[in-house]
Chain A
Amino acid sequence: MGKRVLITDDTAFMRMTLRRLLESNGYEVVGEAEDGLDAINKYQELRPDVVTMDITMPKLDGISAIREILRIDPGARIIVCSAMGQKPMVIEALQAGARDFLVKPFQPQRVLEALEKASS
């Protein structure tokens, strides 16, 4: 009920799309991060229930951010978001400890399913 989510993506549009989808389905989006470093900082500050993590981002990529967040909090629940054709990176992210993955363009049902599973 009202799980707290941190959205990480370098494009404002993707952040907004996810925010709308999640908020209209009962999630609380507690923060938005624009890159991996931002995500790590905001994670420590906000301690969300779930993080969505884009892979390709400036400053620090998603995979490194996943590793770092899990080092800080081994119980962190992170869903990696990738575009088509990033298969090796998705596997790397899962090996790094991501709970699930989503492929862009997002299908709302899948996003919600992944969020629900990751946060329960």
Chain B
Amino acid sequence: MTSGVEMTDARSLFVDEAREYLQLISDSLLRLEEEPDRADSLNELFRAMHSLKGMAATMGYGRTVELAHASESLLDRLRSGGLEAASRRSAVDALFEAAGALEQLIEAIASDGGEPPAQATGWVTPLVERLEALRGGAGDGAGPAAGDAPDGHPNGGSKRNPTKANSVKANPAPWTVSVRLAQDTPLKGVRAYTVLRVLEGLGELIRCIPSRDELEEEAFDDRFQVVLHSGEGAEAIRRAVLAVTDVVEAEVGPGEQGATPGSPAEENGSAGSATQENGQLSSFAVQKQHTVRVETARLDALVDLIGELVITQNNLKDVVDSRRRGGRSGGVLSPGAGRGAPGVREPNRPEAVRALGEAPREAEEAPQAAEEALHALAEGPLRRLERISSELQETVMKLRMVPLQQVFSRFPRVVRDLAHATGKRLRLLIEGEQTELDRTIVNQLGDPLLHLLRNAVDHGIEPPEERLRLGKPEVGQIRLSARTEGNQVTLELEDDGRGIDPERIRQKLLASGRFPAEEVRRMDRERLIQFVFEPGFSTADRVTETSGRGVGVDAARAAIEAVGGRLSLHTEVGKGTVVHIRLPLTLAILRALLVRAEGETYALPLEAVRSIEQLRAERVESLQGHPVMRYRGRVIPIRPLVRTLEGLPPGALPVEELRGALAVVVESGRMRAAIAVDEVLGQQEVVIKSLGRLLGDLPGLMGATILGSGRVALIVDAGFMAG
């Protein structure tokens, strides 16, 4: 069996595919719950469960096989239409549970390298037993090789050993066997031949549709039917056929469909749905994606390399540009072109002017005409290089983009479960799930969104009685939407529930005694609402199973900000709450404002920058020893960049020293601050590099970037500065 600590190829493939199947199962179950008679959902479920079972069996995951097998058998029963409406509903509930349990097993396999030990999975057994009881086929063990099922065939024997050749019983009866092969079955003619041989071992072949010759000549797509006289039961025949490689579906119905009218099957009426209309098998669109799986680390390496390429190209461009300019004006000459450390497209760098004296001496010594000719030659190829590398950059960025669907797809199921658990009725609308975002960001979105969703269900949406009393539609609505706006993606999570009551927050604050009562009474609505972002602050009256355990909106906001996003919340009592989330399309490249402070260059995410202000003397004040400035009707703190990063209190700095400096006003969430810097250098797209293990997670920094000059600039986390 697979062993070892690291994920083996086979196991990672197994986990990937198992997750896909579980998603498919969950989607189909949701559809089935809405429209219980949908044969296609059932068939899809059955196939997915069957495939999952087969994969798990290949890997030797016994508990998974057991559970999948019991689910598959129950699905088969559902499919044959043998259950009453009430039993069908409990069957679907049990299948939901089974899907959840399978997910747990698969995730355990993914993280621990194998199924949990038997004693840790004792909970599987009662579930399997329940699935079996619902199926009504007590006695059919979980072992895939168990005996025949009582499929209701009039002559159906209950013989074991179905695969023993020529075990034709005294009373053979007609069966119609419908077989589907995997879409990409190699040599499918031969495969059909193999199936026929297996069937021949079970009884007498009456005919094939299409004909045997056509089958062997591959004159069929992926399905065929065989009429067989056999004393074996339907289930035994089905299992024998399913045991053939590449057979993905096999159904056995009594009688000779389309052949002998009035066969026992007709009165019996329990034929499987797919065999009822001969040749009219419902077709499944098996989606085949033309994709290649690539390890994400390779993709990241590619992104890194392109970052290097862009930097080198900027380097080269600076050399060419500065030399060209150097030949003529020299006024805005970049420094050090001849020292191999040319400047960037950083406008108006004063030290560029200062450095003029020591600038390219060789350049001045070289014959100027030849110089210029050389640079004129270099310019064409350089422009092309720029164009190509920017296209390359864009293409690679697109490689990292994945649709939000990956995260959204689990929510309908979550909401369904939450609704059941809370006794609420609600509908989840999802819009824009095809919107694409950087993989890293999408991967980080699951938990915060899940949390917000739970909040909405738990605290937002009212119970049905209350909604009716309030004159609201009985069924609550949660809308999750995504759309691309420029180089950002906006998510909205909107519920039509009770909203957040600022007065309740006020009561809570008063009760907590954290602030003087007078101050709390004076707080306006906006200020009060901000408290939902405080760790551990919950307005929930009771702790429910799903949320309100103190992990609040604050955690969701922190997670969103960690990927460079912003979260804000608007709420109206009685009407509902909208959470707005804005996310950058990619994490790898950032539009930054380059600033200079205490001799170093820093990059600020342009997204967070509201404006650049001159700290004129009359605007700067001191409030309780802290420098502040008036900004658009509010008083915001002034934070000197370097001191704040170093964790020093700004109060120690005399206000006078700040006067006359520049301040970059940044905003994060609803918090604003003015960051005092010496100089603003300009805007630039920068490639974000991790600070690496050496520096680790420094508070206040998002990473670093390498400028065209080869110098490193630290990227400042606006959330840290504003918060």
> In angstroms, how far is the closest chain A Cβ from the Cβ of B505?
56
A87 adjacent to B2 (CB under 8 Å): no
Within A80-120, the residues touching B (CB, 8 Å) are 82, 84, 87, 90-91, 94, 100-101, 103, 108-110, 112-114, 116-117, 120
* Across the A-B interface, the 10 shortest Cβ-Cβ residue pairs: A103-B186, A26-B1, A114-B245, A112-B58, A90-B190, A100-B245, A113-B245, A25-B10, A116-B58, A103-B187
Let me know if A116 and B57 touch, CB within 8 A: yes
For chain A, the bracket of interface size reads: 20 to 34
The yes or no answer to B121 lying at the interface (CB within 8 A) is: no
Q: Mark B53-88, 1 if CB is under 8 A from A, else 0.
A: 011011110000000000000000000000000000
Please measure, in the bound complex, the distance between the C-alpha atom of A117 and the C-alpha atom of B59, giving whole angstroms: 13
> With A and B bound together, what is the CA distance between A65 and B332 in angstroms?
84
User: Which residue of chain A is the closest to B246 with respect to CB atoms?
Assistant: A110
- Tell me whether B243 is interfacial, beta carbon within 8 Å: yes
Q: Which residues of A contact B193 (CB under 8 A)?
A: 91, 94
CB of A84 within 8 A of CB of B1, answer no
B412 in the interface (beta carbon within 8 A): no
Is the interface on chain B under 10, 10 to 19, 20 to 34, or 35 or more residues? 20 to 34
Distance between B401 CB and nearest chain A CB, rounded to angstroms: 28
Complex contact A25–B189 (CB within 8 A): no
Asked whether, in the complex, the Cβ of A24 is within 8 Å of the Cβ of B9, the reply is yes
B245 touches A117 (CB 8 A): yes
- 8 A Cβ contacts from B208-242 to A: 216
Smallest beta-carbon distance B327→chain A, Å: 61
Taking CB atoms, residues of chain B closer than 8 Å to A116 are 57-58
B527 at the interface (CB under 8 A from A): no
Instruction: List 12 A–B pairs whose Cβ atoms lie within 8 Å, in order of A's numbering.
Output: A24-B10, A25-B1, A26-B60, A82-B187, A87-B190, A90-B190, A91-B190, A100-B244, A101-B187, A101-B190, A109-B13, A109-B55
Give B contacts to A, CB under 8 Å. Answer: 1-2, 8-10, 13, 54-55, 57-60, 145, 186-187, 189-190, 193-194, 197, 216, 243-246
Secondary structure at the B interface, as helix, strand, loop or mixed, is helix
Of the candidates B2, B13, B186, which one forms a contact with A26 in the assembled complex, judged by CB atoms under 8 Å apart? B2
State the A residues within 8 Å of B (CB): 1, 24-26, 82, 84, 87, 90-91, 94, 100-101, 103, 108-110, 112-114, 116-117, 120
Known: A110-B246, A113-B245. A25 touches B2 (CB 8 A): yes
Q: How far is the CB of A7 from chain B (nearest CB, A)?
A: 18
B186 touches A87 (CB 8 A): no
Distance between Cα atoms of A113 and B185 in the complex (Å):
13
Whether B187 and A24, one on each chain, are in contact in the complex, defined by CB atoms closer than 8 angstroms, is: no
Which B residues touch A25, using CB under 8 A?
A: 1-2, 10, 58-59
B141 to chain A, nearest CB (A): 16
User: A90-B187, A91-B190, A120-B145 are known contacts; what are 8 more A-B pairs with Cβ within 8 Å?
Assistant: A1-B60, A24-B2, A25-B10, A91-B193, A94-B197, A110-B186, A113-B54, A113-B245
The one of B2, B58, B190, B243 that contacts A94, using a Cβ cutoff of 8 Å: B190
A84 and B186 contacting across the interface, CB-CB below 8 Å: yes
Which residues from chain B contact A114 at a C-beta distance below 8 Å? 245
Query: B242 to nearest A CB, angstroms?
Result: 10
B194 touches A87 (CB 8 A): no
Minimal Cβ-Cβ distance residue in B for A20: B9
Bound: A100/B194 CA distance, A = 8
Nearest residue, chain B, Cβ from A2: B1
Give chain B residues whose Cβ lies under 8 Å from the Cβ of A87: 187, 189-190
- How far is B10's CA from A117's CA once the two chains are assembled, in angstroms? 18
Q: Hey, which chain A residues are within 8 Å of B246, CB to CB?
A: 110
Q: How far is the CB of A74 from chain B (nearest CB, A)?
A: 12
